[in-house]
Amino acid sequence: MAYDDDNIFAKILRGEAPCIKVYEDDKTFSFMDVMPQADGHTLVIPKAPAENLFDLEPEHYAALAQVTQKIAAAVKQAIGSPGVMIAQLNGAEAGQTVFHFHNHIIPRWSGLEMKLHAREMADMEKLEEQAQKIRAAL
């Protein structure tokens, strides 16, 4: 499949779709997942147009890894979770639903089940409150 410039993340990067931004630099962009699997579920995407891991240039992957580590630490601190799961899916068969490369940062607690992926919209005010805490932890 060829990269689709009309995917929702491409639209977010162009400012054509709303998001709750957490962080941005010259190569990456981070925002709250609007269908979170846990409180504090945050996404990190490259600004480069890449559908999946195999399309992403190594320099962009390295930048994404560095920012993911930085954002994950802030999420963990801001949300107060003892653990953090980093997830990245490649292809529909792997569960990828938006075909722009992205890392999920999902806070984890022992004994607390995650919600199903991409099932339920979150309250935007609650997401903004979480984003403010994460931005403050950066």
The catalytic position among 100, 102, 104, 117 is 102
Strand (E) positions, the chain? 21-24, 28-32, 42-46, 83-87, 103-108
pLDDT value of residue 116? 61
**Is 117 among the catalytic positions?**
no
CB-facing half-sphere around the CA of 70: CA atoms within 13 A? 17
Q: Show me where the domains of the chain are located.
A: 8-137
97 Cβ neighbours under 8 A, 6+ residues apart: 117, 118
pLDDT value of residue 1? 66
Fold designation for 8-137: HIT family, subunit A (3.30.428)
pLDDT value of residue 113? 76
pLDDT tens for the chain, 138 residues long, are: 689 999 999 999 999 999 999 999 999 999 999 999 999 999 999 999 999 999 999 999 999 999 999 999 999 999 999 999 999 999 999 999 999 999 999 999 998 776 667 678 999 999 999 999 999 999
pLDDT value of residue 115? 63
What's the token pair of residue 110?
């022992």
pLDDT value of residue 94? 92
Taking the C-alpha atoms of residue 98 and residue 83, their distance in angstroms, rounded to an integer, is 25
